[in-house]
Amino acid sequence: MMQGENMNSKRRTFTLVILLFASFMDILDTMIINIAIPSIQSGLQASSSAVEWTANVYILRMALIIITGGRLGDILGRKKMFMLGIAGFTIASAFSGWAATINELIFSRAIQGIMAAMMIPQVLSYIQVLFAPKERAGALGAYSGISGFATVAGPILGAFLIKINLFQLGWRTLFLINIPIGVFIFIAAALVLRESKSINPLRVDIPGTLMAMASLIMLLYPLIQGNSLGWPVWTYISMVAAVIVGFLFIVYEKHRTKQNQSPLIALNLFRFKSFIGGVSVFSLFMIAMSGYFLVFTFYLQMGLHFTPLHAAMTALPFSLMVPVTAAFSVMKLAPEIGRKIVVLGLILCAIGLAGVELVMHEAGTSLSNWQLLPILLIAGAGMGMVVAPLTDFSISQVPQQDAGSASGILNMMQQVGSSIGIAILGTIFFNSIGSSFEISGFAVGVRYAIWSAVGILILTISFVFLLPKKIHQHTDSL
């Protein structure tokens, strides 16, 4: 194991910068895709279900493999896995940028997701071993800050690159820009990063990972493809089979937990009400919000014919409000009012999304940015109130030695929720549009999808009451 005190301050700082560049590139690739999907659909003559996959496959692969990626770093070496991840991510980005068909793009996006799952877990692992506890808060603050900046900057940067149409490449520059950044990170990492391994690493749960992947694919594939195929019988059979495989996955993970064989998901954590509540709230919240982001962007660009930059600027107030209220919620509101802050955030999100739909319905094709500004600020404030304090609430009853595993599961479930949300709300949206792609169809689609998201947010409130009333320190033992 590498100790932070063996590195001088300048080297640690440069190492942190390298790690943050990698994190920035990953989040940028996650956020940038929504604003580019309409351009990709037009450029590659892709179906609506196919372009859903371009957004979903990256998140899905990332979600299912990220825990395994972290364990491989502990076993084989974090530097090795980080460099493998960044090299593979950069190469896959090049293939994405030069994809001639939508299927090629989907495949390369899947590889990007797998490589990101190898790379990103090493970022937080390095921060843990490089910095002493007193210094770690600053490093984690920098990590959170760059994550927030990438979340805000991603859609704007993507829209700007599409607008300037560098070398007539259009949306392709969104992926090709990763090449010089990735090469820089790879060279810098080779020169600066020191190898680091865990003394007692957890084993990789390959069967569990494959079962979880199979279950989710059997659920998401028919959801996304079903509408374009006319919902044949096999789509329903596949979704039923997904539930069965999911049940077998739980049985298998329970067996590995009892045998102390490093399960993919430590089911013993679900004995804590706070953790059950956190997983439920995170998953449902991301189902609602990720699906909303997709249909909102599609409606603005494909329905109202906003340019990508116009659409990105329309959504900017939401993105700017999230980090502001997130910081205030963690520092001031959560300690004062406890879990009520999460309830308040969910209510504000529901009000904001409902307001967005009502304003868009009333304004029709004359919709302007200013009409959406107040309600997008409300929705953004709500999201900050939910996501920022929720992890602490979720793991507050979990023993300290299990906090890392609990955080990993929470992160995975956020990504899984995002994938399911894109599939479900995307299906509702595209199913309502019909084949004519008229504005009336878009209006119906966005109405059904957003009100479905509002319903999910309201349902999510009931799970908040599994969280503790106040955040308290982790226990040292069961």
What is the rounded CA–CA span in Å between residue 450 and residue 315?
A: 15
pLDDT number for residue 185 = 95
Report residue 97 as tokens.
């940028």
Model confidence band, residue 476 (pLDDT cutoffs 50, 70, 90): very low
Residue 3 has pLDDT above 50, yes or no: no
Question: Inter-axis angle of helices 439-464 and 273-298, to 10 degrees?
Answer: 170
Average pLDDT, the chain: 88
Q: Across the chain, which distance is largest between two alpha carbons, in Å?
A: 64
pLDDT number for residue 287 = 95
- Percentage of the chain beyond pLDDT 90 is 48
What is the rounded CA–CA span in Å between residue 388 and residue 391?
A: 7
Give 394-425 pLDDT, tens digit per residue: 888 888 777 777 878 888 888 899 999 999 99
Q: What own/partner pairs with CB < 8 Å and gap ≥ 24 does 215-223 have? A: 215/242, 215/243, 215/245, 215/246, 215/249, 216/60, 216/64, 216/242, 216/416, 216/419, 217/60, 218/242, 218/245, 219/243, 219/420, 219/423, 220/56, 220/60, 220/419, 220/420, 220/423, 223/423, 223/424, 223/427
Q: How many CB atoms lie within 10 A of CB 368?
A: 10
Q: Once rounded to an integer, what is the mean pLDDT over residues 198-202?
A: 81
Place of tokens 């028919």: 222
Task: Tell me how far the alpha carbon of residue 340 is from its chain's centroid.
Answer: 24
pLDDT number for residue 218 = 94
pLDDT number for residue 477 = 42
Q: What is the DSSP letter of 202?
A: P
What is the rounded CA–CA span in Å between residue 196 and residue 76?
A: 9
pLDDT number for residue 116 = 93
Does residue 28 contact residue 319 with C-beta atoms inside 8 Å? no
Which comes out higher in pLDDT, residue 229 or 9?
229
Cα dist from 388 to 6, 201, 250, 324, whole Å: 33, 29, 29, 10
Q: What is the pTM of this model?
A: 0.87
pLDDT number for residue 437 = 66
Cα dist from 13 to 9, 10, 183, whole Å: 6, 5, 20
Give 235-261 pLDDT, tens digit per residue: 999 999 999 999 999 999 999 988 888
Q: How many residues does the chain have?
A: 478
Instruction: Write out 96-163 in H/E/C secondary structure.
Output: HHCCCCHHHHHHHHHHHHHHHHHHHHHHHHHHHHHCCHHHHHHHHHHHHHHHHHHHHHHHHHHHHHHH
Report residue 444 as tokens.
């119906």
Which of these ranges, 135-149, 173-187, 290-304, has the smallest mean pLDDT?
135-149
Q: Once rounded to an integer, what is the mean pLDDT over residues 104-111?
A: 95
Q: Once rounded to an integer, what is the mean pLDDT over residues 206-219?
A: 93
Residue 207 has pLDDT above 80, yes or no: yes
Q: Once rounded to an integer, what is the mean pLDDT over residues 135-156?
A: 79
Give 52-98 pLDDT, tens digit per residue: 899 888 888 888 888 889 889 989 999 999 999 999 999 999 999 99
Task: Look up residue 477 and give its amino acid.
Answer: S
Residue 115 has pLDDT above 80, yes or no: yes
Residue 182 has pLDDT above 80, yes or no: yes
What is the rounded CA–CA span in Å between residue 378 and residue 284?
A: 19
- Percentage of the chain beyond pLDDT 70 is 95
Q: What is the DSSP letter of 266?
A: -
CA angle, corner 34, sides to 31 and 36, nearest 5?
110
Q: Torsion-angle region of residue 338: left (phi > 0), alpha (psi -120 to 50) or beta?
A: left
Model confidence band, residue 473 (pLDDT cutoffs 50, 70, 90): low
pLDDT number for residue 6 = 55
Task: Look up residue 406 and give its amino acid.
Answer: A
What is the rounded CA–CA span in Å between residue 71 and residue 76?
A: 9
pLDDT number for residue 436 = 60
Model confidence band, residue 318 (pLDDT cutoffs 50, 70, 90): very high
Burial class (CB in 10 A: 0-12, 13-18, 19+), 251: exposed
Model confidence band, residue 5 (pLDDT cutoffs 50, 70, 90): very low
pLDDT number for residue 478 = 39
Residue 125 has pLDDT above 90, yes or no: no
What is the rounded CA–CA span in Å between residue 95 and residue 238?
A: 31
What is the rounded CA–CA span in Å between residue 225 and residue 50?
A: 8
